[in-house]
Amino acid sequence: MDEQHIKGAADKAKGSIKDAAGKVTGDKELQSEGKIDKAKGEARQAAGDVKDAASRATD
């Protein structure tokens, strides 16, 4: 697992917590922040996947 995968997993976890907390408290803004963090995490993990694929292709 490289840095992008780790940061992506952390962002997704943080986003899930914010999303759940927003749902429980009725805070739509916090819930939106959570969804944004989850999307950012998924994007970072995808970037890590591309980086991994590119390094395998050159090996």
- Tally the residues of the chain: 59
**Residue 30 covered by a domain:** yes
For the chain, what is the domain count? Answer: 1
pLDDT for position 54: 85
Q: How many CB atoms lie within 10 A of CB 31?
A: 18
* Neighbouring residues of 7: CB distance < 8 A, sequence distance ≥ 6: 41, 44
Domain that holds residue 13: 3-48
Question: Rounded to whole angstroms, how far apart are CA atoms 52 and 56?
Answer: 6
**Residue 57 covered by a domain:** no
The arithmetic mean of pLDDT across residues 11-24, rounded, is 97
pLDDT for position 56: 84
pLDDT for position 58: 79
Contact 38, 8 (CB under 8 A): no
The arithmetic mean of pLDDT across residues 34-42, rounded, is 97
